[in-house]
Structures are given as structure tokens and as C-alpha cells.
């Protein structure tokens, strides 16, 4: 539209010295001439009073009209048709399961997404395709994974892989349309690679490992661990010395999903790492590893701090908390808290909690000759909250379902939780205990006026039970 440049020229010169050009738009009637008097056609000649509309207003109006025409009247550019997505032979989940997934993506128990995806994959089902974009966005930002090991379950660290697997062929198709989702296509390619040719030494993997960002290296390492654990561990051991603190913590975070006894030497050495986050991850993983030397050291300490005594009213747990944290305890991750504003009892309580959460739970059944349910029911006085939290953390880390069930039942039938740490412990138990505990009659009912924490735990257990039941109901239709 050449008229646009004419309008710009007129506006620069000024309507008092230039004629307002016409705005010619095909299909639109020509606007009225603001200067019907021939004398106005002479630049600089004054227009008679009341001879027509204000030329400046007309110029602005025509500029607005041309602007709208330029935006609305642009010819469409060429667009290639989207490629066809490869067919996914897996059936979709049932409508009820799809609706629950949508609720989770909207903020209702979103921490259970990884469990839902893993359960669907185990049943050979796929999520509704319309929910894949939201899943891909969610997995792209799962939150920090290397700095708080005790707060991140391995399933949450596996969320990107689970989403990539859930999407199947649609994952690669969607990733080609949005660069933010490329991580999922890389996951899928690594997981589907031919083991005979896709090793730690292949070219694509070598480029991702040597040149990629931390997130790309983490994704490649996790995919390799799922496909070829030996090669992944070789890659970690070979790159450990040259890696920075953040990457060493990332290595351990990835190993968390497939922890085996052969990882113990690396983890023991990492207890002496200069970086606190690396030491924290190493201590956390060693406490999860059955039969580890750290577990034996913790058990030897814990036996001095917790005893079962017989009193006039029956058995009772007596706690003698550690007086302080020596060098050996600090190496095993038992560190004193901030000194400012803390009493000696508060610091001893914290040390006791840390020891309990890292002690193998078999220590107590062997030491006391009782079942988990019987031990959890023994009175412990003012130390009951500390024991509940410590045992809960240990049960979740060690995936001990007997202890988790015992603690859930105790929370519903015994003393009421009253501390923030207890509330968080019950919340975590609800997420990790056997979902069958949410079935009808599986656990004692709580009264309607029960504390919010106990009722919340029951609600999450029932949510999980229904979630898996819906997935068991068979496939649905798209």
C-alpha cells in the first residue's frame, strides 16, 4: 500500500502545508475529501473557516484505517502440512482414568503423576493424547533434583522419562513442533535405541555427554542407565573427577533410580566430597542401600539411643539422644544444626531424628523381638513425634511396606499428630505406602473431627487406590 508512505510524508510536513492523501483500499468506499475548496489544494493557502473536517483528524483516521487494512489484508504465507504422526498401537486408558489424570495436571495431587504414568505403562496403556502437551510441560520443570535428596522420590526424578514413554510416537511428533519438548524426544530415542549400536560410545550420545547442558547430560545418563546400567556406571566413574559439584550431585541423583550394591564404593568415597550437596546425596543413598556399611554404623549408634524397657504399666521406649555430633557422625551425614537460637535439647532432638531416619528398620525388629506394628504401638512419651518422623523417613527410603502400614495404622489409632514434622511425615506416608491401604476396610476409620493430617493421609491413600483401580478397569477409547 503506497498510500501509507504518503500519509507518513504528510504527517511529517504537517497538514497545514501538505494535502492529506487519500487512503485507497480495494472494496472500501473512498473517504470524503477534507479539502473540497480548490484553494486548499495549494500548499500553504489557508482553508476557509468551517470548510470541512480537521485535516489532522482525517489524517489520523486514514492512518488507523490503513493500519487495520494492512494487518487484516495480508496474504497468507506458505505453510507446509504437518507430518503424519506414527500410529500408537497401545490402547488409551479408561475415561475415568483420563479424567483423574486431567485433575492431577490441574493441581489435585500432582505429586502422584509419576506413579500414575508408571502404572499406566506397566499395564500397556497410554494417556489421552490431548493431555500430552500439559504432561510435557510439567515434566520439563519438575523442580530441583540435586539439592534436596530426602525430599525427592526417585519416581519424581524419573518424570521426564515416564512422560516420554507415555507419549510414545506422539512424543517425537510433538517435540518437533515445540523446542521446549525436545528433551522428551531425546529420551524416547535413547530408550528405543538398538542395544547393539547404542552404547556410551555412540556418536549421538557422546555429543550429548560431552557438549550438552546439565539437563541434557542428566537425560542421556538416565536413559543409558535404564538401557545399559553397566555402561552408565562406567560413564559416571570415568567422568567423576572432572565433573563439578553440581554434576557430581546430578550423577548420584540419576543413580538413585537404579541403586545396586555395586554403587557402594562410589557412594562411600562421596561421603568425603568437598561439596555438601554431594555428601548429602551419598549419605541418603547409602541409607537406602540394604546391607551398606553406613547402615551398620547407624544401627550401632541407634542401639545406644533407643531402648525397650519393661515398666509397671508395660513396655516403654526410652530415648537417650546423642550429646553431640562427632567427626564420624558428620561424615555419615549427621550434622549439627545452626547454633544460633537453638537449645541444646533441640539440637539433640535433631541429631536423634537424623540417626533414626538413617537406621535400617530391621535393627528394631531384631533388637526388640517384636513386629513393626508392635513396636510402633509402644508408648514413647515426649519422644513419640521424633520416632514417628524418623521411622517414617526410614520406611520410605528403605521402601519397607510393613513399617509404613504399621505407622499409618498407628497414626489413625494412637496419639494425634501435633507437630509440623509429623504432618509432613503422614503426608509422605500417604504417597509411598501400599495404595491397598486406601481400599475399603483396609485401615481403621478416623472420626470426622480427626486432625486434618490424619484425614488428609486417608484421602490421599483412597485417591491412589481409586487411581490404580481405574487403570485396572481396562482400556478406553480416544
Residue 50, pLDDT > 80, answer no
Average pLDDT over residues 424-433: 93
pLDDT score recorded for residue 40? 46
Which stretch of 18-32, 64-78, 464-478 has the lowest confidence by average pLDDT? 18-32
pLDDT at 144: 46
Indicate if the pLDDT at residue 417 is higher than 90. no
Question: Which of the two residues, 205 and 364, has the higher pLDDT score?
Answer: 364
CA distance 287 to 293: 9
The tally of CA atoms less than 13 A away on the side-chain side of residue 47 is 20
Task: Give the pLDDT of residue 206.
Answer: 62
- Please tell me the distance from the alpha carbon of residue 434 to that of residue 438, in angstroms, as a whole number: 8
Answer whether 408's CB lies under 8 Å from 434's CB. Answer: no
Angle between helices 229-239 and 214-227 (to 10 degrees): 140
In three-state secondary structure terms, 402 is helix
pLDDT at residue 442, as a whole number: 86
> For the stretch 147-181, what's the b/e string if a residue is b when 16 or more beta carbons lie within 10 angstroms of its beta carbon?
eebbebbbbbbbbbbbbbbbbbebbbbbbeeeeeb
pLDDT by residue (tens digit) across 323-364? 888 999 999 999 876 654 466 778 889 999 999 999 999 999
Q: Per-residue pLDDT averaged across 69-88, rounded?
A: 81
b/e code 296-315 from CB counts within 10 Å (16+ = b): ebbbebbeebbeeeeeeeee
The pTM for the full model equals 0.76
Indicate whether 118 pLDDT > 90.
Answer: yes
Report the C-alpha gap between 52 and 470 in whole angstroms. 75
Q: Which residue has the cell 508408571?
A: 118
Lowest mean pLDDT, pick from 63-67, 248-252, 298-302, 444-448: 444-448
Query: Helix, strand or coil for residue 23?
Result: coil
Residue 267 has a pLDDT of: 96
User: Residues 303-316: what's their mean pLDDT?
Assistant: 92
Q: What is the mean pLDDT of the chain?
A: 84
Span of 83-87, 147-151, 208-212, 341-345 with lowest mean pLDDT: 147-151
Question: Mean pLDDT throughout 429-444?
Answer: 91
Helix (H) or strand (E) holding 171: helix 169-175
CB distance 465 to 100 below 8 Å: no
Q: Locate 314 and state its grid cell.
A: 508395660
Residue 121's Cβ-count burial label (10 Å; 0-12, 13-18, 19+) is middle
What is the average pLDDT across 14-26?
A: 80
Q: Answer whether residue 261 shows pLDDT above 70.
A: yes
**Looking at 67-81, 97-111, 293-307, which range is the least confident one?**
67-81
Give the pLDDT score at 39.
47
Dist. CA 318–CA 193, nearest whole Å? 56
| Burial class of residue 265, CB neighbours in 10 A (0-12, 13-18, 19+) | exposed
Amino acid at each position: 500500500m503506497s498510500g501509507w508512505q504518503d500519509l507518513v510524508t504528510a504527517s511529517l510536513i504537517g497538514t497545514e502545508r501538505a494535502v492529506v492523501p487519500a487512503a485507497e483500499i480495494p472494496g472500501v468506499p473512498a473517504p470524503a475529501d477534507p479539502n473540497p475548496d480548490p484553494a486548499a489544494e495549494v500548499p500553504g493557502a489557508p482553508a476557509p473557516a468551517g470548510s470541512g473536517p480537521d485535516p489532522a483528524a482525517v489524517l489520523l483516521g486514514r492512518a488507523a484505517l490503513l493500519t487495520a487494512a494492512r494487518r487484516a489484508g495480508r496474504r497468507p504465507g506458505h505453510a507446509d502440512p504437518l507430518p503424519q504422526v506414527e500410529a500408537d498401537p497401545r490402547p488409551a486408558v479408561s475415561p475415568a482414568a483420563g479424567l483423574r489424570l486431567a485433575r492431577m495436571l490441574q493441581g489435585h495431587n500432582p505429586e502422584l503423576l509419576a506413579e500414575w504414568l508408571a502404572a499406566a505403562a506397566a499395564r500397556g496403556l497410554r494417556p489421552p493424547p490431548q493431555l500430552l502437551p500439559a504432561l510435557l510441560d510439567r515434566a520439563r520443570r519438575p523442580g530441583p533434583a540435586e539439592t534436596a535428596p530426602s525430599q525427592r522420590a526417585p519416581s519424581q526424578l524419573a518424570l521426564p522419562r515416564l512422560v516420554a514413554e507415555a507419549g510414545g510416537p506422539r512424543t517425537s511428533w510433538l517435540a518437533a513442533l515445540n523446542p521446549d519438548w525436545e528433551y522428551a524426544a531425546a529420551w524416547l530415542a535413547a530408550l528405543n535405541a538398538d542395544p547393539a549400536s547404542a552404547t556410551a560410545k555412540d556418536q549421538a550420545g557422546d555429543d550429548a555427554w560431552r557438549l550438552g547442558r546439565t539437563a541434557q547430560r542428566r537425560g542421556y545418563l538416565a536413559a543409558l542407565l535404564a538401557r545399559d546400567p553397566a555402561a552408565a556406571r562406567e560413564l559416571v566413574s570415568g567422568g567423576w573427577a572432572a565433573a563439578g559439584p553440581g554434576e557430581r550431585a546430578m550423577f548420584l541423583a540419576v543413580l538413585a533410580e537404579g541403586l545396586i550394591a555395586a554403587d557402594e564404593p562410589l557412594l562411600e568415597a562421596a561421603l568425603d566430597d568437598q561439596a555438601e550437596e554431594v555428601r548429602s546425596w551419598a549419605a541418603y543413598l547409602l541409607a537406602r542401600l540394604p546391607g551398606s556399611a553406613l547402615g551398620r554404623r547407624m544401627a550401632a549408634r541407634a542401639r545406644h539411643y533407643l531402648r525397650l524397657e519393661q515398666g509397671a504399666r508395660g513396655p516403654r521406649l526410652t530415648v537417650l539422644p546423642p550429646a553431640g555430633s562427632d567427626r564420624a557422625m558428620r561424615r555419615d551425614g549427621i550434622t549439627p544444626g545452626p547454633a544460633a537460637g537453638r537449645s541444646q535439647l533441640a539440637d539433640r532432638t535433631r541429631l536423634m531424628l537424623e540417626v533414626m531416619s538413617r537406621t535400617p528398620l530391621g535393627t528394631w525388629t531384631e533388637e526388640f523381638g517384636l513386629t513393626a506394628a508392635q513396636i510402633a504401638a509402644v508408648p514413647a512419651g515426649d519422644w513419640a513425634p521424633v520416632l514417628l518422623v524418623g521411622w517414617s523417613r526410614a520406611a520410605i527410603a528403605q521402601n519397607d511396606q510393613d513399617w509404613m502400614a504399621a505407622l499409618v495404622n498407628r497414626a489413625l489409632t494412637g496419639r494425634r499428630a501435633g507437630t509440623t514434622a509429623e504432618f509432613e511425615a503422614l503426608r509422605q506416608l500417604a504417597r509411598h505406602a501400599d495404595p491397598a491401604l486406601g481400599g475399603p476396610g483396609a485401615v481403621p476409620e478416623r472420626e470426622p473431627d480427626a486432625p486434618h493430617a490424619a484425614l488428609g493421609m486417608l484421602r490421599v491413600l483412597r485417591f491412589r487406590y481409586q487411581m490404580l483401580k481405574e487403570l485396572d478397569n481396562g482400556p478406553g477409547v480416544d
